[in-house]
Each structure stands twice: as C-alpha cells, then as structure tokens.
A and B are shown apart, each in its own frame.
Chain A
Amino acid sequence: MGPQNNIIGKGISVSPGIIEGPVKIVETPEDVDNINAGDIMVVKSSDPLFALGVMSSAGLICEIGGALTHICIVSMEMGIPCIARAENITESLKDGMIITLNASEGLVYSG
C-alpha cells in the first residue's frame, strides 16, 4: 500500500487475499441481484441468500460477527477474501467507492 492509501476500516481476517474494487453495500436479499463481478460486498448482517452475492463478488466485508458467522463461513468455503467485525465500516463506505481490501491483514484502504 502506498502513502496515498488511507486505512478506513479494520476487522479480523476470515479468508485471506488482497483485492481492489468498487463497494457494494448489501442490506436486503434483493440487493444481491445488483452485484457485479469484481464488487466488494459489504454487509451489516447475515442472511443465507447473501451467499449468492458472495459467489458473484470479489471480496466480503462483514460489519458484525466473526469467523463462525455463516456468511463468513460461506466466503471461506468459496475462497473469497473476507474480513469480519469491521465495526461501523458502512459509515465510511458508499456504493461504487473504490477500496482495497487486504483480507489477510484485516484492513480496508481507500482507493
């Protein structure tokens, strides 16, 4: 990460990997249908249907929970980079914003 990248969120690493992409905040099961390949999915809660979004996305940030939160387990199974317990992360993110998720370290950077 260069000096231009600020850390905007932290969490615990669930499934490793580093990816860059646009944010897609998913609040309802319907939002899952609007995920594009390469999006980084951000959720506040867990719902089994969110798994279909995980399948299409490049990464997952979960505001709550931990390694045993079901959506996190699904991301681990599918090998999608994922962090959990990224408290209040949705306050710093907006749909379409480009971020870098370093899921190996549990860090979220702007840009």
Chain B
Amino acid sequence: MHPKDWFIVGSINLVEDFKTSILEISERDGKTTWPIDLNSISHLFIGEFDKELLQDIEKMEYKGHAKYNIGQAFVTPQRIIRLLIPFVQGLSTLGLSRELRREKVEYLLSLVHELKHGDPSNRDGKNIVLSPDELNNIIGPSWLSESDKQSSLLVHKLCGILWAYVETLFFKTHGLVREFHGPYTLPGYDGNFLFRDFVCLKPTELWEESSALPFSRARIVAAYDQLDMSVDIYNHVSIPEGRTFIESLKSYYVECDGKILEPSEIDSLCKDLSTVMRSIHKKVESLEWQKRAEKYADIFWYSKKQLRDILEEDWAVPEAVRQQIQHGEISTKQKQISQRELQIMMKLSF
C-alpha cells in the first residue's frame, strides 16, 4: 500500500480533519479587515470564481494532467487550504447539493495531500511538506550560518517585514503566497528547522510597484535550539510561552531566487520591502470600496494564474465580474462570521 493510501481509503478523514482544524483556530484568528472586510464583498465575485476554478480543474484533468501536477499549479498546499473556506461559500451560490460540495472540497484536499509529506490538515501540529529525502537535498549544511544576537535580530526583522509586505499586497488572503513549514529534524543536526517560504514577492500584474524588488521568492530556513514549535492549518507558528524566536535561533540561511543573501543584502532587502510596501499601501488607501473589492477579485483570480498558464488561457478577472462589483453593494449581514456561524456553515455546507 502506498504510504498515503490510508487517506484515500478513509477519505472521510480529509474533510472531517479539515473541519476540526479550521474550527480550532477560528476562535484565535485575527479577523483582519484591512483594507476592506472580505466577508462583506466576496458575494460579488466568489460564485464566478468557483465556477471558473472547477472548470479549469476539469480541463486540466481532460488534458491528462495528473493530480500531483494539478496540485502543483497552486504553487503551495497552503494556497489550496486558504482558498477552501471562500470556495465553500461560493459553492452555495452555484446550487450544488451538499454531497457534490463535499466531493469538491474533498478533491481540493486530496491535492493538498498530494503536495505534502505529512498530515494535510496539520492535525499533529506540524506542517510537513518535504519528505526526509527532499529535506536532505534542500538543506545544504554549508549554506547554514551560525547565528548571533545581531544576525538573529536581522533575520527575524526580515521575517516580520515579509509578513507585513505580503499582507499589504494580498490583504487578508496573504496566506495564498506563503508557506511556513516544519518543524523538521535532520539526522546528525541538533535543532528544529522551520521554513518560511514567500513565493510571490513581485506580482507585477497586480502591483506594478513590486517590480522594484530585486527578488520574486524568499525562503528563510531557520534552525532553532530546543524550541518546541507547532504549526496550525493556517501556518501560524506557536512557540511555548516565555520563549522567543530571536533567542532560540541557532543557524539560518536566507535564499532569494536561488541566491544566499549576506547580512548586508538582507538589510538592503528589508529597506526595499519597506519602500514598496509604503507605496502600495498609499495606493490602496486612496481606492474606493469597489476598487478594493476588484483588487480582492484580482487576487483570487491571480491565485489560479498558473492553472490558466498551463491551459494557455487568460487569467484575468472577467469583465462581467468587474461590472458586478461596480454595481453591487456591500453586504452588512455577512460581516465577521462568528465561530458558531462557521461551525454551522461547515456542518451544513459540505
């Protein structure tokens, strides 16, 4: 039996584990509403997004693409996870039965399963994307630099700025463009590895300002000493109370587009990120709500751009959707879904 087959045999686990994991974190989640509450405007485009996404996947399958390749078109497993709740909300507008909706959710979760070595919903508190062999091949021990207080501060400053940077560009849905995975252990190495991958720093199709950045992708690999970390389904990393990443960093490397950065280059990248972030933030703040909603639609469509690239089709938001947003209204009733409402929605929807 293939090591992953137990998920397929007992496929109900995929969906139920997902539900449990989401509910566990929803109480603690930050309820971010900058620059506009996604729940108040998603009804203007999410149904159409779902319809296209399902069609795109169908076309990929028709063209003979294997499930793993379809999953890869989403770039990271976290992107699929982050799309799932809005996706479910959109499915309800398409008139599908509960069984069919559950089937669609299960399919997307099976793509996550294809892309990850570990539990698709991080039920064990770990986000294990890489297999031991992949980990061995990726971590070049010679790349790792020993950390001191100064370098630890610098590396974690970069982590913080990158977080804020992707939030500025992708709003609440910045989880679409980052994957925090681990903790990993490496034989013969005393420490827990955490990978912070930022996979889309220059989405020039969304923000031309981002072209000023020197890199498209950043990976921060950090080995922490005796730090018990857990990673939830939305890739939030928790550490024991009283501990900090700064004091626990043992060694690290920062890799951007294949290049290992020196401390001076990390510092320079922090400055570049701040500059681009300020300029995009200023632009967003000047937008009317309809334009902010359109930007959200752009972000959703952009998240499946690779699928469209493979299919050799235009990825952009259809004009009809833009019109719908322009002539639509903000929904006050859908603002800030409570824990109880989310629970009911997940029980009844799929």
Contacts and interface: CB of A to CB of B under 8 A. Distances in A.
Contact of B241 (A13, A17, A55, A70): A13
A40 B161 CA distance: 19
Top-6 shortest CB links A-B: A51-B164, A79-B246, A77-B160, A78-B160, A69-B30, A48-B167
A67 B239 CA distance: 11
A77 B180 CA distance: 13
Interface in B160-174: 160-161, 163-165, 167-168
B285 A46 contact: no
Q: Which of B152, B160, B168, B247 has the most CB of A within 10 A?
A: B160
A48 B30 CA distance: 13
A65 B161 CA distance: 20
B156 A78 contact: yes
A52 interface: yes
Contact of A55 (B30, B160, B245): B160
Contacts of B161: 51-52, 55
B291 to A, nearest CB: 18
Interface of B: 25, 28-32, 34, 152-153, 156-157, 159-161, 163-165, 167-168, 236, 238, 241-247, 274, 277-278, 281, 285
Contacts of B244: 15-17, 76, 79
Interface of B: prevailing SS: helix
Contacts, number: 87
Nearest to B238: A67
A48 B242 contact: no
A104 to B, nearest CB: 6
Contact of A77 (B25, B29, B159): B159
A23 B160 CA distance: 22
Contacts of B281: 29, 48-49
Contacts of A15: 244
A83 B148 CA distance: 26
Nearest to A33: B278
A68 B159 contact: no
Nearest to A29: B281
A76 B243 contact: no
A46 B35 CA distance: 10
A72 B246 CA distance: 15
Interface string A62-85: 000111111011111111000000
A26 interface: no
A74 B153 CA distance: 13
30 contacts: A17-B244, A29-B281, A46-B34, A48-B34, A48-B164, A49-B164, A49-B278, A49-B281, A50-B164, A51-B160, A52-B277, A55-B157, A55-B161, A68-B29, A69-B30, A69-B32, A70-B30, A70-B32, A70-B163, A70-B164, A72-B30, A74-B160, A77-B156, A77-B159, A77-B160, A78-B153, A78-B246, A79-B244, A79-B245, A79-B247
